[in-house]
């Protein structure tokens, strides 16, 4: 049960790295500027979701650990 709450954090990290590698691969082909112009809003939204998700999962981890101590 204790290892279960860490799964969302790992998923967030995997998602972030997948996005970074996708943009790195696109920048090697020379389309990075076009991709950044097209997906500027979605990138901001993804980063916002990432921050919210990490805060929520961090708080859930804290709540569960305190419940386990009690």
Predicted local distance difference test score (pLDDT) of residue 19? 76
Q: Is residue 2 part of a domain?
A: no
Q: Is residue 32 part of a domain?
A: yes
Domain residues for the domain of 17 are: 8-69
Buried b (16+ CB within 10 A) or exposed e, 20-52: eeebeeeeeeeeeeeeeeeeeeeeeeeeeeeee
Predicted local distance difference test score (pLDDT) of residue 1? 43
Q: Is residue 1 part of a domain?
A: no
Q: Is residue 40 part of a domain?
A: yes
* DSSP per residue, 33-69: HHHHHHTHHHHHHHHHHHHHHHHHHHHHHHHHHHHHH
Render each residue's pLDDT in the chain as its tens digit; 70 residues.
444 445 555 676 777 777 777 777 666 666 556 666 666 677 777 777 777 777 777 766 666 655 555 4
Instruction: Count up the domains in the chain and report the number.
Output: 1
Predicted local distance difference test score (pLDDT) of residue 64? 60
Q: Is residue 53 part of a domain?
A: yes
CA distance 44 to 66: 33
CA distance 57 to 20: 21
């Amino acid at each position: 049960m204790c290892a279960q709450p860490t799964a969302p954090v790992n998923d967030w990290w995997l998602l972030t790295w997948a996005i970074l590698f996708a943009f790195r691969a696109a920048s090697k082909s020379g389309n990075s500027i076009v991709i950044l112009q097209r997906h500027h809003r979605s990138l901001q939204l993804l980063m916002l979701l990432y921050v919210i998700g990490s805060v929520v999962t961090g708080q859930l981890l804290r709540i569960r650990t305190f419940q386990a101590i009690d």
